[in-house]
Each structure stands twice: as structure tokens, then as C-alpha cells.
Amino acid sequence: MEERYTRTYAEKLDAEDTLRSFRNEFYLENEYVYMDGNSLGLMSKRAEQSVYDLLASWKKHAIDGWTQGENAWYYLSESLGEKMAVLVGAQKEEVVVTGSTTVNLHQLVSTFYKPKGSKTKILADALNFPSDIYALKAQLKLKGYDESHLIQVQSEDGHILDEETIIDAMTEEIALIVLPSVLYRSGQILDMEKLTTAAHERGIKIGFDLCHSIGAVPHQLHDWDVDFAFWCTYKHLNGGPGSVAALYVNEKHFGAVPGLAGWFSSNKEKQFDMEHTLTAAGNAGAFQIGTPHVLSTAPLIGALELFHEAGIEKIREKSLQLTAYMVELIEHELKEFDFEICNPVNEKQRGGHIYLEHPEAARICKALKRKKVIPDFRKPSGIRLAPVALYNSFTDVYECIQTLKNIMEEKAYEQFSNEREVVS
């Protein structure tokens, strides 16, 4: 066997890894190889501590915790947005931590979707996560339009979107565009700069769902002139289950009336004047709606520290090394077992996970879990494997593929039904 396909080689890569110390910041079950960080990131010790710290501020300050303590709650959404801005290439005032992914999408579409004349349609894609499509259809209905006004660009192979096809669909009927930055199945990264330029040349506003890119891929939203973006914080950002989401609004749109206004849309200096006419914040804070979910925001205080220390460029560099190594092992070790790698070949188009398809995918995932490797199943035949730069090692990747090989050789998956679990 060639050295590069051995555990010794994986351990050598780990020894050369400049980010290896960050693994010690996370709670890792010793027996498990966790490859599902693109669904739910692991808990870091700092995220845990920041939750305890917020609880302590509640205990100590009671209502005065809104303005007192190290992380005063009244300003927490904006201060965390400022810390997160570097991860998306935004100005500090352009990001705020608030809401959930879908609530933020509703807010942004209700703000920026302005149908007029023949310009009434929303452009999206056929491969996007269902929640985004549900929200877009709901927004159309609220404006009095049916689903025929949602144009979804199709994929020729069911995995990859062609950017020129997307641009061709930017017709005079399109009023707004909403696309993913990284496709949740195939991991394809769309060229956000190219698509934004094309949209603006046609007088169309454009926004992106960053759920599968934030924390794994660098962005330059401000320089690319993206109009808006939104994302969750529990995947690569490791904010915990249901942690508060975030949104970006380009500063050129500051002053736009939020489509879904609420108390926390207010200018903070005016909020407690209790006036019935909204004086909106002059930054991304205007697109908040309700009172911040402070305890669900707390883990981000500690989690984001790790990204500032590691640096998103170094995280991306290691992520590409991990996924390239995984692809190499898959092609060498699993070539007899009918797996199809559905990611883009070009690493510049590859996000932070590998997507495999196999007819027995559901039962293979169950077999992997039995062997203490945690994958992610996507109906009908997809297996997602996400080696995360901050806590996964090259040895993890080696162990994952070796375990998968053993399962296929022994046909250990046959003892399981080929149906998804309730949560997959």
C-alpha cells in the first residue's frame, strides 16, 4: 500500500497542521468521528462558558443586565454582528445577529421585493433548501401573486447550477433574486460576485443564503455590492442548536423601511421614547423585529473568538486540504462500491463538505453511526461528510473512509432499512 493511503500519512498531515490546537477547544467524544458539522457544529468550551457567563449576568444584574455587564444585552445583537462582519467581508454596521434564517429571509424579501408593472417575479433555484422556497412562495402570496411568479433555475445533472443559465434567467420580469452561496447538497459555491454584477446590470436586487458557507468560506459581500444576505449560526459557526441567526444589509440600503417592523427595529436612542411612529436604526439593526433571544445568542460570544484567532483564510485553506484528502481516499478506497462524488471538481467551487450518492445511502448512514462515524443523510440517496477545519483531523478523515470501506466490504449496511430516520 502506498504511504499516502495509510493512517501514518494522515497522522503526518495532522502533525503539520497549523490549526491542530483548536481541536482541544471542542468537546469531542473519543470514540466518535464527527462528520456532521455542516448540520450542527460541535460545542466549544468557550461557547459553553459564555452561556454560563450570560446566566450569571441575569442572576447578578436582573433587568439591569440590559445595560450592565461585559456583554450588555441591549447591544449584544449589534456587537456580535460587528464581530461576525469579518467572516462575510462586511462593514461592521452591515451585520446584526437576530431572528432565525427563515424569519430573516421573510424580513429581507418583504423589504426588498417591490413588484411593479411587469417586474413581478422572484428568481431562485431548484436545488435550494426547502425553507427558502416556502418563504418565497409565502411572500408572493402576501403580495397577491401565485407560484408561477417564482422562477426556479433548473440543474442539468441535479447537483450543479450553471451560472450562465442563472444570468440568462435574469429577465425584465425579475424583481428580486435569492440564491444560496453554497448548495446544501453538492457543496457547490456560486460565484456571488459575478451573479451580483449581472443582477445589478439589469436593475435587480440580489441576496444570498449563506447557511452552508459562513464560517467555512471567506466572503466579500460589501466589496461585491451584494444587497443582502442571511444565515444560521449553528453549522460551521458552532453556535448551538437553534442559536440566533444573522443578516447583512449593504450600507447603501440603510434608511430603507423594514418590511416587518418591530420594537427592536428602532434607533436605540429613541426606542424607549415609546412613540407609535418608528424611528428606525440607521444600520442593519433596523431589520431586527423582536427582543433578542439573549440566552440563545450567548454561545456565539465564545464561538466567534475561535474564528478571530484562527482566521477565516486559514480555516478555508485547511478545509480544502481536508476535503481534497477525503476525495482522494474515496477514489482510491471505494472505487469498487458504486459511490458517486457529486461535488464540483474545481476546489474554488467546493464548499466545506463532500457529497456522495449511493442507492443504499440511508442504510449506509445507519451503519456508519453504528460504527461511531456520524454522517448526514439527504433523501433519496445522498451522504454528506463534513470535515470541519477547527476540530476535525486528517486522521478523522482516514478513519471515516476506512470505516465506510469496511461497511461496504462486509455488507454491514444490509441489516438496516433503507429509509431515513425522523431527523437525518
Q: Is 120 annotated as a binding residue?
A: no
On the question of pLDDT at 250 being above 80, the answer is yes
Taking only the tens place, the pLDDT of each residue in 134-185 is: 999 999 999 999 999 999 999 999 999 999 999 999 999 999 999 999 999 9
Report pLDDT for 26: 98
| 242 in Cβ contact with 223 (< 8 Å) | no
The answer to whether 130 is annotated as binding is yes
pTM: 0.96
Paired with 174 in beta bridges are 121
Residues 6+ away with beta carbon under 8 Å from 153: 123, 124, 125, 126, 161, 165, 166, 169
Which of 354, 352, 353, 322 is closest to 340 using CA atoms?
354
Q: Is 387 helix (H, G, I), strand (E, B) or coil?
A: coil
Average confidence (pLDDT) over 312-317: 98
**What local confidence, expressed as pLDDT, does residue 31 receive?**
82
pLDDT digits (tens, 9 = 90+) for 369-385: 999 999 999 999 999 99
| 258: preceding bond cis by omega (within 30 degrees) | no
Is 131 marked as binding a ligand? Answer: yes
Alpha helices for 100-231 (secondary structure H): 101-112, 130-142, 163-168, 192-201, 221-224
Is 263 one of the annotated binding-site residues? Answer: yes
Q: What is the pLDDT of residue 1?
A: 57
pLDDT over 80 at 424, yes or no: no
**What structural domains does the chain harbor?**
3-31+311-415 (3.90.1150.10), 49-309 (3.40.640.10)
Whether residue 225 is predicted with pLDDT greater than 70 in this model: the reply is yes
212 is in an annotated binding site: yes
Cα separation of 57 and 62, whole Å?
A: 7
Q: What is the DSSP string of 312-371?
A: HHHHHHHHHHHHHHHHHHHHHHSTTTT-EE-S-SSGGGB-S-EEEE-TTHHHHHHHHHHT
Does 100 score more than 90 pLDDT?
yes
| 52/48 Cα distance (integer angstroms) | 7
Residue 132 among known ligand-binding residues: yes
Q: How, if at all, do strands 33-34 and 228-231 pair?
A: unpaired
More confident site: 301 or 30: 301
Q: Per-residue pLDDT averaged across 36-57, rounded?
A: 98
pLDDT score of 2? 81
Cell of 148: 408561477
pLDDT tens digits, 320-357: 999 999 999 999 999 999 999 999 989 999 999 999 99
- pLDDT, tens only, 384-412: 999 999 999 999 999 999 999 999 999 99
Q: Rounded mean pLDDT of the chain? A: 96
134-145 tens-digit pLDDT: 999 999 999 999
Q: What is the mean pLDDT of residues 110-138?
A: 97
Write down the pLDDT at residue 422.
75
How far is it, in rounded angstroms, from Cα 283 to Cα 255? 8
Query: What is the radius of gyration, based on Cα positions, of the chain?
Result: 22
Percentage of the chain lying above the pLDDT 70 cut = 100
129 among annotated binding-site residues: yes
Q: How far apart are CA 229 and CA 250, in angstroms?
A: 9
